[in-house]
Structure 1
Amino acid sequence: MANPSPRAPLAERLEELLAPGGPLPVVAAGDPVLRAGTERYDGQLDPALLARFVEALRITMHAAPGVGLAAPQVGVELRIAVIEDPAPVPEEVRLVRGRVPQPFRVLVNPSYEGVGPARAAFFEGCLSVPGYQAVVARHAEVRLTGQDEHGRALDEVFAGWPARIVQHETDHLDGTLYLDRAELRSLSANQAVLERWAQPAPAEAAKALGFELP
């Protein structure tokens, strides 16, 4: 399916994007929409169209599968993202990474700031950079502010893996990919991560590949 014309009005482009139904095409790295930043959401869509778009993001995230998806990843330059993580991981991974289940949430106009000096580094991937993962050091805890899809204020502290998810998705809205923050010497194909670096923490990868951890 051809991408909707970027010259068309936003609502018209969204209608065209949503028309086929089902998961939306995910934009891959190299498309300028992933680097352009986003427009603050301020009621540009009527409530019914916004609800359809949010549902399409949810369907696309589940189909990928992923734990977050930002509007630019489907070619839409609005400051909206969705997250959800059932966290089906072993207990050791849960404890080391702080990966706990997160319900489906919509983040509208989100921004974050670090809480305290602690940082955590783990392998991370992205639906827009398929086939690879790299170690990214991020704030271990963040305060996220913004709204939900109904305009209700969001002001919440996230820690562990949920903090990583909201940082990753909010970065997308600023035109930042995880690779911009990654230890590039850690860049590994998914198969290599599965076969070599499946440990809960990346200490062995850091030693073998020659990069530092915080």
Structure 2
Amino acid sequence: MGTAMGTPSDRVPLAERVEELLTVGGPLPIVAAGDPVLRRAAEPYDGQVAPALFERFVEALRLTMHAAPGVGLAAPQVGVGLRVAVIEDPAPVPDEVRVARGRVPQPFRVLVNPSYEPAGAGRAAFFEGCLSVPGWQAVVARHAEVRLRAHDEHGRAVDEVFAGWPARIVQHETDHLDGTLYLDRAELRSLASNAAMAELWSQPTPRRAASALGFELPGPAA
């Protein structure tokens, strides 16, 4: 085994890396699991990227999230180790799913230097996927409610409690900024391909999957 060497992008200053990405135009390439950038804590944003460039980067994250499509995207997922993420969820789901998962529409938000903590002891377990782990989903038990602290793209403080599916999105994207993938928290016996999900496990909750695949559901979804 050789000595680990950083990739060239590891040694490029963040502003230069962002500028380089934006020269191409259109949606940005999404980094897949296995790239070290997804396993490092992202650098807190403190003006390393000038305001005009930062604004363009945020818009590129939004465009990329929409094109994927996804409901959240963190800067490391496009190869930029900066503590920034975007979320947005139109929540086009049937009422049964909305009620079971607490999935309600979320407007577009920019999360700068976010952190979260549980708000209450509730847990919820549902299938979850990731744009950086394409083709697969797995059940993850997460806090049912979290308190998010962050700043928005204009530097305004955010201190808000999220519940249901929005809480899951906040946790998933903030975890990316800590070098954590959803699989680190998943029940691996639940791991299912997208094809299996469509054929077998499209129910509002994973109860049937838990029984068939042999795993426990620790949250209210049990």
TM bin, normalised by shorter chain, reads over 0.9
> 1:122 touches 1:136 (CA, 8 Å); kept in 2?
yes
Deviation at 1:4, TM superposition (A): 6.8
User: Which stretches of structure 1, 4 residues or more, deviate above 4 A after TM superposition?
Assistant: none
SS of residue paired to 2:10: coil
Q: Does 1:61 align with 2:74?
A: no
For residues 75-96 of structure 1, give each alpha carbon's deviation from its aligned partner in whole angstroms, at most 9, with x where no partner exists.
0000000000000000000000
Q: CA deviation at 1:12?
A: 1.4
Match of 1:197 among 201, 207, 217: 201
Q: For 1:36-81, what per-residue CA distance to the aligned partner results, in whole angstroms no more than 9, with x for missing partners?
A: 1100111111110000000000000000000000000000000000
User: Which structure 2 residue ranges, 5 or more long, are not aligned?
Assistant: 1-6
* 2:14 and 2:81 in contact (8 A); partners too: no
Q: Distance in 2 between matches of 1:5 and 1:173?
A: 17
Which of 74, 81, 91 lines up with 2:78 in the alignment? 74
Between the aligned partners of 1:196 and 1:6, the Cα distance in structure 2 is 41
Q: Does the aligned pair in 2 maintain the 1:118–1:140 contact within 8 Å? A: yes
Mapping for residues 1-214 of structure 1, pairs under 5 Å: 5-214=9-218
Percent identity of equivalent pairs:
81
1:191 corresponds to which letter in structure 2? A
Q: In 1, distance between residues paired with 2:51 and 2:124? A: 38
Letter of the aligned partner of 2:128 in structure 1?
E
For normalisation by structure 1, the TM-score amounts to 0.97
Paired residue type of 2:201: W
2:99, 2:67 → 1: CA distance?
27
Letter in 1 for 2:111: L
TM-score, structure 2 as length reference:
0.94
RMSD between aligned residues: 1.0
Residue identity in the other structure for 1:86:
P
The answer to whether the Cα contact below 8 Å between 1:80 and 1:108 also exists between their aligned partners in 2 is: yes
Within 1, Cα distance between the matches of 2:89 and 2:125? 19
Give the paired residue count.
212
Distance 1:153 1:33 in 2: 27
